[in-house]
């Protein structure tokens, strides 16, 4: 375990998942680099650029378990070069002729950018799967609470009624758009890199483009057509989508956090056996899962900003840009993976207190029906006149401690008619439409990351 809190034996589970650490941990990354070098050698051998025997030897020796990583680390420090240490360790276990064909006229960026595309592919697969699971949970929850009334809130204050199903449908609809973004961007982000010194593949002459195509095909990546040595928009775009996904999960967590307050008490996040809310106030049940979604989203947004900065690079290569990605992108992926896993746990065990929702809606003297009263009076009095009359009447009624009906009777606004009942409007119909659309999409859409 390292010095970073996210690598701590005690706290690592808060900042990533084992599944994504299997992509970004050092040995996994080095193994992926070795696999990329083997794919490059195989493509070169197919075109007669290096002997087939060398390509076979490089593939056979390409196991991180068989390399002297202490040597690789020492050589990396001695040469001040990002990959010469790995090259030295690999060459040491190869026959002399094959050792000359390791990393044959490739660059650090050819290797690391291609690995980045593979890491994005794996992260995309996980995000696609987990977002689908989150969406399915939300659709079930929305349907279950299609007709569960609660106070709609604007500016943090109770307003007109909605249903809890409508609130959840809004969450599900946002998640659906992220799935669409993941599907649309997948082909764009999964591009290999083989450009040579300045992107021209000049060393390989007229075989350069065919070599790049075969190299990418072997790794299941797209040929980029144009090298992206300083064109970092793909990485920035993917990082910002991760930030948006995390922000959506934080919005959900924020609502649970707020509605779990005892004075509201409409939602409660699941509590695991043995969980301790406070070591000094034993009665507390803290919303640690929902608030952690906000923490994770803040950190992902910070990393996405670094990735955006990488788009401003100079000329044909600029290490300032893409080397910052080596830190920022893995962090964004790990943190987003943690957020997705946490959101799934939160939604799977979310407790909904429909009775408390109804009581909160009824509290306050029935003023939640003011929109319905305005709708009733507007055709007779005109919308603006009715609004002015109601604002004055209800303000005076509140000051006197009256109910909505008492305030309206006292003002003469209803002229003897009964006040309109509060209504959640088209909430149920909106939930029905959202659930139909979401389930149809989940049932029919092809996995773009498979």
Q: Report residue 441's pLDDT band, with 50, 70 and 90 as the boundaries.
A: very high
Is there a single domain that holds both residue 127 and residue 155? Answer: yes
> What is the CATH number for 156?
1.20.200.10
Is there a single domain that holds both residue 259 and residue 338? Answer: yes
Q: Which of 47, 82, 99 is the last residue of a domain?
A: 99
Q: Which of 58, 130, 135 is nearest to 100 (CA)?
A: 58
Query: Would you state the pLDDT for residue 284?
Result: 64
Is there a single domain that holds both residue 89 and residue 238? Answer: no
Q: Which helix (H) or strand (E) holds 154?
A: strand 149-154
- Would 426 be classed as within a structural domain? no
- Would 434 be classed as within a structural domain? no
Least confident of 280-284, 329-333, 398-402, 410-414: 280-284
Residues above pLDDT 70, as percent of the chain: 96
Query: Would you state the pLDDT for residue 312?
Result: 96
Residues carrying an active site annotation = 155, 278
Q: Report residue 220's pLDDT band, with 50, 70 and 90 as the boundaries.
A: very high
- Would 423 be classed as within a structural domain? no
Which DSSP category does 417 fall into?
P
Is there a single domain that holds both residue 286 and residue 343? Answer: yes
- Would 311 be classed as within a structural domain? yes
Buried b (16+ CB within 10 A) or exposed e, 320-338: ebbebbeebbbbbbbbbbb
- Would 79 be classed as within a structural domain? yes
- Would 447 be classed as within a structural domain? no
Is there a single domain that holds both residue 289 and residue 346? Answer: yes
Per-chain mean pLDDT for the chain: 93
Q: Is the pLDDT of residue 1 over 60?
A: no
Q: Is the pLDDT of residue 131 over 60?
A: yes
Is there a single domain that holds both residue 159 and residue 293? Answer: yes
Q: Report residue 118's pLDDT band, with 50, 70 and 90 as the boundaries.
A: very high
Is there a single domain that holds both residue 159 and residue 273? Answer: yes
Query: Would you state the pLDDT for residue 6?
Result: 82
Q: Is the pLDDT of residue 254 over 90?
A: yes
- Would 335 be classed as within a structural domain? yes
Helices (H), ranges, 190-318: 208-218, 233-259, 288-309
Which DSSP category does 269 fall into?
-
Is there a single domain that holds both residue 195 and residue 54? Answer: no
Mean pLDDT of 76-95: 95
Is there a single domain that holds both residue 168 and residue 291? Answer: yes
Residues above pLDDT 90, as percent of the chain: 78
For the CA atoms of 255, 256, 262, 267, the dihedral, rounded to the nearest 10 degrees, stands at 120
Query: Would you state the pLDDT for residue 368?
Result: 87
Query: Would you state the pLDDT for residue 321?
Result: 84
Q: Is the pLDDT of residue 379 over 70?
A: yes
- Whole-angstrom CA distances from 150 to 252, 311, 404, 420 are 17, 46, 18, 17
Query: Would you state the pLDDT for residue 417?
Result: 62
Mean pLDDT of 425-449: 97
pLDDT tens-place string over residues 21-66? 999 999 999 999 999 999 999 999 999 999 999 999 999 999 999 9
Least confident of 73-87, 187-201, 262-276, 279-293: 279-293
Give the count of domains, the chain.
3
Is there a single domain that holds both residue 37 and residue 141? Answer: no
Q: Which domain holds residue 378?
A: 367-411
Highest-confidence segment of 125-134, 368-377, 405-414: 125-134
Is there a single domain that holds both residue 374 and residue 258? Answer: no
Q: Which of 72, 99, 126 is the last residue of a domain?
A: 99
d(CA 417, CA 422): 15
Query: Would you state the pLDDT for residue 283?
Result: 66
d(CA 390, CA 402): 14
- Would 72 be classed as within a structural domain? yes
Q: Is the pLDDT of residue 78 over 80?
A: yes
Q: Report residue 409's pLDDT band, with 50, 70 and 90 as the boundaries.
A: confident
Query: Would you state the pLDDT for residue 275?
Result: 64
């Amino acid at each position: 375990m390292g010095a970073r809190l996210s690598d701590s034996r005690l706290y690592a589970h808060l900042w990533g998942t084992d599944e994504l650490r299997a992509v970004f941990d050092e040995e996994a990354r080095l193994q992926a680099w070795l696999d990329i070098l083997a794919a490059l050698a195989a493509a070169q051998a197919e075109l007669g650029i290096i002997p087939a025997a060398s390509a076979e030897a490089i593939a056979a020796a390409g196991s991180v378990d068989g390399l002297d990583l202490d040597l690789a680390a020492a050589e990396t420090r001695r040469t001040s070069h990002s990959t010469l240490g790995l090259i030295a360790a690999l060459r040491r276990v190869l026959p002399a002729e094959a050792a000359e064909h390791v990393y044959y006229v490739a660059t650090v960026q050819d290797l690391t950018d291609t690995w980045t595309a593979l890491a994005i592919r794996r992260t995309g697969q996980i995000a696609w799967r987990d977002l689908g699971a989150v969406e399915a949970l939300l659709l079930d929850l929305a349907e279950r609470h299609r007709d569960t009334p609660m106070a709609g809130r604007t500016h943090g204050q109770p307003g007109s009624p909605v249903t809890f199903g409508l609130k959840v449908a809004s969450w599900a609809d946002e998640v659906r758009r992220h799935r669409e973004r993941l599907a649309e961007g997948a082909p764009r982000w999964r591009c290999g890199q083989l450009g040579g010194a300045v992107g021209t593949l000049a060393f390989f002459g007229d075989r350069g483009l065919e070599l790049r195509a075969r190299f990418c095909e072997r790794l299941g990546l797209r040929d980029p057509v144009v090298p992206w040595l300083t064109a970092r928009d793909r990485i920035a775009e993917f990082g910002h989508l991760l930030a948006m996904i995390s922000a959506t999960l934080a919005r959900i967590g924020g609502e649970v956090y707020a509605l779990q307050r005892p004075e509201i008490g409409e939602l409660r996040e699941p509590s695991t056996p043995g969980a301790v809310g406070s070591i000094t106030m034993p009665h507390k049940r803290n919303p640690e899962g929902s608030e952690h979604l906000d923490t994770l989203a803040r950190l992902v947004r910070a990393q996405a900003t670094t990735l955006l900065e990488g788009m401003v690079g100079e000329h044909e290569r600029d290490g300032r840009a893409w080397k910052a990605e080596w830190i920022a992108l893995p962090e964004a992926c790990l943190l987003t993976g943690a957020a997705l896993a946490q959101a799934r746990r939160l939604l799977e065990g979310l407790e909904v207190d429909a009775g408390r929702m109804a009581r909160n809606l009824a509290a306050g003297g029935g003023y939640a029906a003011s929109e319905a009263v305005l709708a009733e009076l507007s055709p007779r009095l005109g919308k603006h006149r009715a609004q002015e009359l109601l604002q004055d009447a209800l303000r005076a009624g509140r000051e006197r401690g009256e109910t909505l009906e008492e305030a309206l009777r006292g003002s003469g606004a209803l002229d003897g008619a009964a006040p309109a009942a509060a209504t959640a409007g088209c909430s149920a119909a909106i939930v029905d439409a959202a659930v139909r659309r979401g389930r149809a999409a989940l049932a029919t859409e092809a996995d773009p990351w498979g």
